[in-house]
Structure 1
């Protein structure tokens, strides 16, 4: 029945500034009105809505102001350079500073590589790639560089 996630929404304080930021991520505008814009994540399959609202003042929590975009595993190796070219700074997450990212999340029985940054309003944006699925193996969170050396 369910085929996937079609839309997600984030609050923003300045729609024009946010549009410029999300265009840097190579997202295409699907629909726009005065206080709302939708960007295609995958055209015809999923989009992201940005709402200009004072709700952006709601304190950050990943259940409220976080979104993760899936990327290919191979792209994860060059993702920091891709972000730097767009003048987007990597965030410190889980105690890992930008220079130690991407990192590997031990979500047993899954493992994912991820890197984090913030949009102009402090919404948390994650780029994530599955490394393995349905494989039980205990390990600690580590850098992708460390993961690649052990696998």
Structure 2
């Protein structure tokens, strides 16, 4: 029955500023309305709704104002430089400085991710699965540290 996630929404203060930000990330405008607009994440597969209104003043919490975009492994390794070239700063998370993607251990899964904010303080994430159903990773670390461990183990 369920094939994937089609839609998620975030609150925004200024629709035009937000649309420009998401277009800068490479997303295409699917619908531009006065208080509700949509940008394609993957055309015909998933989109992100931007809702202009007072809800943007709701204090940040990841259960309310967070979106994670799936990216390829090679792309996440270049994500920091790619974002910074677009004028978007990568942010510190979980005590890790914004120098590189980090590895998130959710045993038996492991993902690598990098985080940044949109103009309204919504937390955005690029994420890529790196081990599914087999990870024994127990601690967070930078991706380059994880790659070194995998290389030593002969897994990469």
Aligned structure 1 segments of 4 or more residues deviating by more than 4 angstroms = none
CA RMSD of aligned residues (A): 0.8
User: Where do residues 109-128 of structure 1 align in structure 2 (5 Å cutoff)?
Assistant: 109-128=108-127
The answer (yes or no) to whether the contact 2:114–2:125 under 8 Å persists in 1 is yes
Could you tell me which residue of structure 2 aligns to residue 44 of structure 1?
44
Could you tell me which residue of structure 2 aligns to residue 140 of structure 1?
139
Name stretches of at least 5 consecutive residues in structure 1 with no aligned partner. Answer: none
Deviation larger for 129-138 or 108-117: 129-138
User: What is the CA distance between 1:77 and its match in structure 2?
Assistant: 1.2
1:50-100 C-alpha deviation (Å, 9 max, x unpaired): 01111000010000000000000111111111001100000110001112x
Secondary structure of the residue aligned to 1:78 is helix
Q: Report how many residues are paired.
A: 150
Separation in 1, partners of 2:68, 2:131: 17
1:6-59 C-alpha deviation (Å, 9 max, x unpaired): 000000001111011111110000111111110000100100000111100001
The answer (yes or no) to whether the contact 2:110–2:135 under 8 Å persists in 1 is no
Could you tell me which residue of structure 1 aligns to residue 154 of structure 2?
none
Separation in 2, partners of 1:138, 1:131: 11
Separation in 2, partners of 1:98, 1:138: 21
Secondary structure of the residue aligned to 1:128 is strand
Name stretches of at least 5 consecutive residues in structure 2 with no aligned partner. Answer: 151-156
Separation in 2, partners of 1:138, 1:123: 28
Could you tell me which residue of structure 2 aligns to residue 32 of structure 1?
32
User: Where do residues 83-102 of structure 1 align in structure 2 (5 Å cutoff)?
Assistant: 83-99=83-99, 101-102=100-101
TM-score of the superposition, structure 2-length normalised? Answer: 0.94
Separation in 2, partners of 1:52, 1:3: 29
Separation in 2, partners of 1:138, 1:102: 16
1:84 and 1:138, CA in 2 relative to 1: closer, same or farther beyond 3 A? closer
